[in-house]
Structure 1
């Protein structure tokens, strides 16, 4: 019976090299290759690993690529060139192998204390006219917000809303390192991406240019992808209906709009006014959240 072996890739766009990791139940191999893109990196990694893979054939090499990837048109040629090796798409059952392949990129870390307590956090994004804003609000009143004008070479404008949502999620994860986070967002697309990243998936939003240098900088999609994989054990993400009266969600929405509109100057106040206004928003909506929780418990 053919062994399933997961292939995971990690790009370093500054050097043009890709780290690769192949992990199966009875097989493991890692290395780096120079490649022009993810599909090219798959082939280069297979070429580098094939001397070791030949001892395990027949083998299915599991890769995470979109159904529209050109490489799927050449699987027969791949099988001819790498005898005994077949490229196949990953499935939910491959998640443990994918996770093992991702762990190979990170050296063993010292044992640290587990996160303390569970904290519910709402996140939200706002986007219009080429500018995005994001905000997050925790049930204990802690909060954050930010704004940015993404380069059109980095991300198509139609995908700005998803980018803003993901920035909010990422900022909350970074700002609250000592807690297990119950993150709630009203963006299903962001929930789906984070859930896939947590188990080693590579999918990015349509319209995002992963080869742009900002992709691997803090706040870039590939940077956030790695962050989610590392922090996955302490993050529980789920969807909540937006604008349906959930105080934390409404507060996160207000913080995202505050950040964006302050930068645009459309609300008639300056950046210096933002911290105080953000604190007022956070206090009002966390108080409403606590009141709702007390009423539900009564």
Structure 2
């Protein structure tokens, strides 16, 4: 007869591994010149800094990445943020870090982060030296109901584009004007240290930028106080001597204008979630559009001086959270 198996007693010196408790860190952000300031307060230490980005959601993700890089990406972290339920940031949690709203027990940390941010001096608006060759850039926006996009394209095929949610709470009552101004503001923010000849097919956007250059505070109707256009207005005012903006009629076959229009429509389609646009196809189409229209511009423009490409990849594709709310809430 086979004896029945018997359980062995647990060794008294055996201790099972337990996950290390996460560190709780509260983060607050506020719009500043050319980007966002952030302050973070944890149980052991504090952080603060500035990120040059276009939306509150992107600023929070950039701040989280900096804190994890400095504090240790292998550590478990619980970040407290104050964002609306619809923010795409809520879908960015990982196995060793995640995002929550502050509860009653954690409210003191979030209040401390807000206070630290309030007391921090604002970053001064200091225009960079203009020492690179001038560039021509066309800008455009595209609004498809609640889905919108903006884009800009230079004569050297360097481009920027982004899709975002366009609802009155985010953009106010003039969504088309906001999209056009976002394109101009993003081009000015990205194409630093050079004179810009900006071409837009929106007379209203050109008029607003001209008023910004003269120091006026005009904004699209009901545009939110913390939106990206507030920082764009300040930068355009501070760097007005390097910025020329003019109107050109749209859909008349001008290559750069048509290229910017096509990129903006592509960004709004990608934001809408069109099935034929996965991440790879989105990037391939954008690069092909930028190269094709810029080459046509160089071919058809009688007087064209070649420009140096940026040290970065001249083909830039972006789709970030303003861009997913972007701009900003």
TM-score by length of structure 2 reads 0.52
The structure showing larger relative contact order (alpha-carbon pairs under 8 Å, at least 6 residues apart) is 2
Q: Is the 8 Å Cα contact of residues 119 and 139 (structure 1) preserved in structure 2?
A: yes
Counterpart pick for 2:183 among 149, 159, 168: 168
Equivalent of 1:254 in 244, 259, 262: 262
What runs of 5+ residues in structure 2 fail to find an aligned partner?
Answer: 1-28, 32-121, 306-329
- In 2 relative to 1, CA 291–159 (structure 1 residues): closer, same or farther, beyond 3 Å? same
Give the drift of 1:116: 2.1
Q: Which residue matches 1:289?
A: 297
Question: Aligned-pair distance for 1:170?
Answer: 1.1
Of 179, 187, 192, the match for 2:207: 192
CA offsets 1:242-282 (integer angstroms, 9 cap, x no match) = 00010000000000001110121336221332221111001
* C-alpha distance in 2 between matches for 1:109 and 1:296: 31
- Contact 2:154 2:256 survives alignment (8 Å): yes
Change (3 A) 1:109 1:290: closer
Flag the structure with higher helix content: 1
> Structure 2: how far apart are the matches of 1:244 and 1:192?
21
Tell me, in whole angstroms, the C-alpha distance in 1 between the residues paired with 2:189 and 2:224: 24
Matched, 1:204 2:219: yes
Give the corresponding residue for 2:145.
Answer: 129
SS at match of 1:153: helix
Partner of 1:118: 134
* Number of residue-to-residue matches in the alignment: 187
Distance 1:107 1:133 in 2: 30
Unaligned runs of 5+ in 1: 1-12, 16-104
Separation in 1, partners of 2:209, 2:174: 16
Provide the rounded CA distance (Å) in 1 between the counterparts of 2:189 and 2:171: 22
Gap change, CA 1:151 and 1:139, over 3 Å in 2:
same
Contact in 1 for aligned 2:215/2:237 (Cα 8 Å): yes
Quick one: structure 1 residues 115 and 234, their matched pair in 2 at CA, closer, same or farther if it must change by over 3 Å? farther
- Where 1:256 maps in the other structure, the secondary structure is helix
- Structure 1 runs (4+) greater than 3 angstroms displaced: 105-110, 294-297
Aligned to 1:154: 170
Query: Separation in 2 of the partners of 1:223 and 1:133?
Result: 19
Residue matched to 2:249: 241
Asked whether the equivalents of residues 117 and 179 of structure 1 are also in contact (C-alpha less than 8 Å), the reply is: yes
Residues of 1 paired with 2:199 and 2:303: CA distance? 21
2:125 touches 2:235 (CA, 8 Å); kept in 1? no
Task: Give me the whole-angstrom Cα distance separating, in 2, the residues matched to 1:114 and 1:125.
Answer: 27
State the match for 2:239 in structure 1. 231
Alignment of 1:42-57 (within 5 A): none
Deviation at 1:113, TM superposition (A): 3.9
CA RMSD in angstroms comes to 2.7
Q: Secondary structure at the match of 1:162?
A: helix
Deviation at 1:296, TM superposition (A): 9.8
Shift of 1:189: 0.8
Instruction: Name which of 124, 144, 157 aligns with 2:160.
Output: 144
> Helix, strand or coil: the match of 1:233?
helix
